[in-house]
Structure 1
Amino acid sequence: MATELLDIEPHELKFVFELKKQSSCLVQLANKSDHYVAFKVKTTSPKKYCVRPNIGIVKPNSRSDFTVTMQAQRLMPPDMQCKDKFLIQSVVVPSGTTEDDITSETFAKVDGKLIEEKKLRVALTSPPSSPVLLPVNGEAKQDPPSEIHLQRDRVSPSGAENIPPPTDAGDVKGFETAQDMEQDRAIKSNVSRPAETVDGIKVKDAMQFNLAKDSEELKSRLNLMDSKLREAELVIKKLDEERRLSTQEKDMLKHELEVLKKGINAKRVQAGFPLLFVCMVALISVVVGYYIHP
């Protein structure tokens, strides 16, 4: 293409280096074309930096930006030299595309798709509040803040990359496609997200997301089991109450049955002629017999 898809400022990321303190750098992207442009940020040191956001959409004739945060470091780099690099990929996407529509295939170099790539170097500067003082002729001399640019020499096998001196924005032979951070986009939070890796370095944020997801699933399962346990306890209490009522009714029926049996036995005892009636009949029979047979 005759012109670049995105104008990127600055061309070099500068961080004020202080031990155990974070430092941030703002990168601005300008889209002067009439197309929607998607971008993605990669780095050679994903554990060292956080990028928010690391993917996005720049609408036609508009601007967007992202923030790169260098995590607090415990050791001073030798001679304030930094070998880290960033890679910004950009590609034209259909009109109306949103961040949620960006997938790993968006930046795949297939079917002649043009993926514009630009590398950014990293420079470290000393904080103005803590200059380096060197004694000169008995007096303190204040050196200006040192600004060490990224060396172009090849890094040792233990380094994160092996990149020749950059000659053009499209020359990215030293970079390899890293794994996409699509899982990070599923977490809509304000927490900074580590940039993607370059040279095959894996993204640690994917593991953190998986742990958080597993934790949420475990919590939901525990809540579900707790609710089921409470329901079971209620059912058991209800069954115990019904059993108690059933026992009471059974006892009452037994008592009523015993009362009925006693009543029936009493009636049986009272069956036949009363003794007084029999005596009267006998007396009358004797008197009648006496009169009939004097």
Structure 2
Amino acid sequence: MSKLEQVLILDPPVELKFKGPFDEVSASKLTLTNPTEHTVCFKVKTTAPRRYCVRPNSGTIKPKSSVSVILLLQPFDYDPHEKNKHKFMVQSMYYMEGDQSVEAMFREAKPEELMDSKLRCVFEIPSPPFADEPEAPVEVVGDVKVPTIAKVSESAPSTDPASGVDPKLEALEKEQMRAAEEIKNLRAELSFLRQENFKLKDDKLRAAKQMRGDAAGPTVVKLHEAPPGFMPAHFILAIATAFLGYFLAKFVL
């Protein structure tokens, strides 16, 4: 007598996929659907019973109903070069009214009464995470990197029918223009302060060399006198850097 064709609809029908990493339990779901007008018994078997937990591994499915089976792969040392031979088999048969349990029915069933479907296991290793998205373009101001301010597109949609210009975009564009101008001024000021600071250090160094090299006596070297109200270059540099940070936090971030 020929073998009966499987009446249950399996989802997935061919492969059970388990996703790594496999240093923890990996789960896969199998849905069994009974499209017939009769109650159907099912039993799930595997070629590697010590590696999997199946819940439920047997039961009955009422007509026009479905049952979800959860398959749990236990943690193990995954070797990508090792060929995976794990398989599952779903056996089914029509339920016969009586006092017998499903297990007893399958034990006593004749081979021609059983229907089965085989599924292979597939182990999937997640791809390496994509590289971080490229950072926003930066602009170097002195020794500080600041985000480049994006320009507002001139073709941005208008929300003001009278003027044809979005007031919010117009205001934002003005703020960005002012920010760009401030950054330009700060860059120029920082460059000037660095030059002044370098010049002062150079003058002091030359004065010290002259004093050590003059055997006849100390030579008094008159350093550049700072005009009234002049602050040291490093102090101004610190103030400019603090102002730049505050300005970027307010308008850019």
TM-score by length of 2: 0.45
Give the greater-gyration-radius structure (CA): 1
TM-score by length of 1: 0.39
